[in-house]
Chains A and B, each alone.
Chain A
């Protein structure tokens, strides 16, 4: 019955009047509403499940209720069988089609909408990654619900905590929508692991989608270093490294520690390293066991991306640098002397 109403709701969605009434009706007046269940959008690449997605499954499990996962792409069936062996996943849906490769929002969000209707799930989750961020709001608009972004804590099935103002405040919100569309901060939830049995896997039909975008190419910085978002140790460089050559000192130390490399916006803007290394409000959010900030003053926007690290070490020649206020260990000095010594002694 609910899915019937939803169909009507989407049929009405081009007019603003009736839509509101229907969504209110859905929210409060149905006595036997669907029991809690959630759907997780799985990000994958080269047959490997994305790490942030593994945390998103943990978040879904925390909601209680059945957890379904959706895998889309030309290799979806293979990835789906891997997903079915993950702890917390009760059922896997997959849609095999190259139209879903490269995760274009125009292609994926109609698919998510179809699966949401089919499963009648109450929660739809994705990680707050560049892919989750572009797909989920489009889905939320189609469902006429207000998305909750970058959730760091789940208090109940409808109450969530999320950071605002670059992490300088935490907001607890209650969603009044009947369906919750949410993106998850991966560093706030543990990654799920494998289980002994495999959950059922089901193919879903590929909806007719009119995709007006075309993927042209990716330029992905390759390397054998751990991925920034999930590394145990991160070494970051800022403006004070002075040049791309200076940034090599950061890379050398990271390699010695088996760490990922990060950067402040200043270092990225100055061209010392690749954009994708930026840590902060508008870059990657990291929370490693050890974060080593070298030549980074500690602007609000940078702190937003790393202040939840377990141990923070700062190396800076300015004893007044704000980064020292949140550092567990501070070393005042010239990074061009300190870094080579540190790298050599580890």
Chain B
């Protein structure tokens, strides 16, 4: 079996625990001075690449390569990926404030994939900021290779990938040839923490900087954001003291049972 290089997508997003605020001009979410981290699904993607290397026969997984697209600060999330155990990284840099839509990101990944020829590409199932859930699928389409989405288990043998995917109502098992794109669900694994020695080692690992222009990728936005607003607030509710009072309210006030 040939050696499989793995390409992993990493997005820098506002940390999942932060309560976001819409900016005063209602054009975007406030990102200045807000804690950012790796998109949680991408952490799972890196972890799975590492686990594949650990559980498959020695030498069957080659390089684990992380790729992030975005402003200069994306280097921070790439360093985290390297500290978790990725071997090297690409940073496709755009100026601060540039919005990269999933289609543009998929094209960047397509261009890098054509240089790197990964046998497997692992991406998160969605980024928790734009919640699009598109990039992995678009990439598989651009490369014309199979895709497994929202996976909670993967296995590779004889150059075939078997994935258990989370679907509405249950699970679905699919088998496909490599190369393929996999997008991760929360249940795939529990990502490891980077240890201090590994964080130090990660500083020496290479991050190759590229631009969309160098990759010949057009990143013009296709969607124009007209406004960003907070959702309507729910009105304050009431506290009930007993099951009887609750049932009474549900029957006679809300009339829902």
Q: Does A168 contact B (CB under 8 A)?
A: yes
Complex Cα distance A217/B217, Å?
39
The reply to whether B168 and A276 form a contact with Cβ atoms under 8 Å apart is yes
Q: Does B98 contact A (CB under 8 A)?
A: no
Residue of A19, A150, A175 near B223 (CB, 8 A) is: A175
What is the 8 Å Cβ interface bit string for chain A, positions 104-128, against chain B (1 contact, 0 not)? Answer: 1110010000000000000000000
Given contacts A140-B103, A281-B131, A289-B256, contact A16 B218 (CB under 8 A): yes
Residues of B within 8 A of A141 (CB): 103, 106, 137-139, 141-142
A292 to chain B, nearest CB (A): 9
Q: Which of A213, A221, A276, A327 has the most CB of B within 10 A?
A: A213
Residue of A20, A168, A215, A326 near B172 (CB, 8 A) is: A215
Given contacts A170-B229, A328-B254, contact A165 B140 (CB under 8 A): no
What is the 8 Å Cβ interface bit string for chain B, positions 167-191, against chain A (1 contact, 0 not)? Answer: 1111111111100100001110000
Interface size of A in residues (CB-CB distance below 8 Å): 92
Q: Does B76 contact A (CB under 8 A)?
A: no
Complex Cα distance A303/B106, Å?
30
Complex Cα distance A22/B190, Å?
45
Complex Cα distance A307/B152, Å?
26
Q: Does A25 contact B (CB under 8 A)?
A: no
Complex Cα distance A217/B145, Å?
21
What is the 8 Å Cβ interface bit string for chain A, positions 95-110, against chain B (1 contact, 0 not)? Answer: 0000000101110010
Residues of A within 8 A of B175 (CB): 213-214, 216
Given contacts A146-B103, A282-B125, A329-B250, contact A133 B172 (CB under 8 A): no
* Residues of B contacting A: mostly: mixed
Q: Does B214 contact A (CB under 8 A)?
A: no
Residue of B140, B180, B230 near A138 (CB, 8 A) is: B140
Q: Which residue of A lies closest to B187 (CB)?
A: A275
The reply to whether B137 and A134 form a contact with Cβ atoms under 8 Å apart is yes
Complex Cα distance A176/B226, Å?
12
Q: Does A202 contact B (CB under 8 A)?
A: no
The reply to whether B226 and A159 form a contact with Cβ atoms under 8 Å apart is yes
Residues of B within 8 A of A212 (CB): 145-146, 176-177, 180
Complex Cα distance A240/B213, Å?
52
Given contacts A216-B174, A329-B246, A341-B243, contact A301 B228 (CB under 8 A): no
* Residues of A contacting B: mostly: mixed
Residue of A170, A227, A312 near B228 (CB, 8 A) is: A170
Stretch binding the partner chain, chosen from A61-69, A190-198, A330-338 = A330-338
B155 to chain A, nearest CB (A): 12
Residue of A138, A159, A175, A312 near B137 (CB, 8 A) is: A138
Complex Cα distance A165/B23, Å?
14
The reply to whether B257 and A257 form a contact with Cβ atoms under 8 Å apart is yes
Residue of B165, B172, B222 near A176 (CB, 8 A) is: B222
What is the 8 Å Cβ interface bit string for chain A, positions 225-261, against chain B (1 contact, 0 not)? Answer: 0010100010000000000000000000000010000
A274 to chain B, nearest CB (A): 7
B211 to chain A, nearest CB (A): 14
Residues of B within 8 A of A148 (CB): 223
Residues of A within 8 A of B239 (CB): 324, 329-332
Q: Which residue of B lies closest to A221 (CB)?
A: B170
Residues of A within 8 A of B177 (CB): 212-213
Complex Cα distance A292/B14, Å?
30
The reply to whether B223 and A176 form a contact with Cβ atoms under 8 Å apart is yes
The reply to whether B226 and A172 form a contact with Cβ atoms under 8 Å apart is yes
Q: Which residue of B lies closest to A149 (CB)?
A: B132
The reply to whether A165 and B186 form a contact with Cβ atoms under 8 Å apart is no
Q: Taking A137-B134, A220-B170 as given, write out 5 further A-B residue pairs in contact, using a Cβ cutoff of 8 Å, ordered by the A residue number.
A: A134-B149, A170-B230, A173-B225, A329-B246, A345-B243
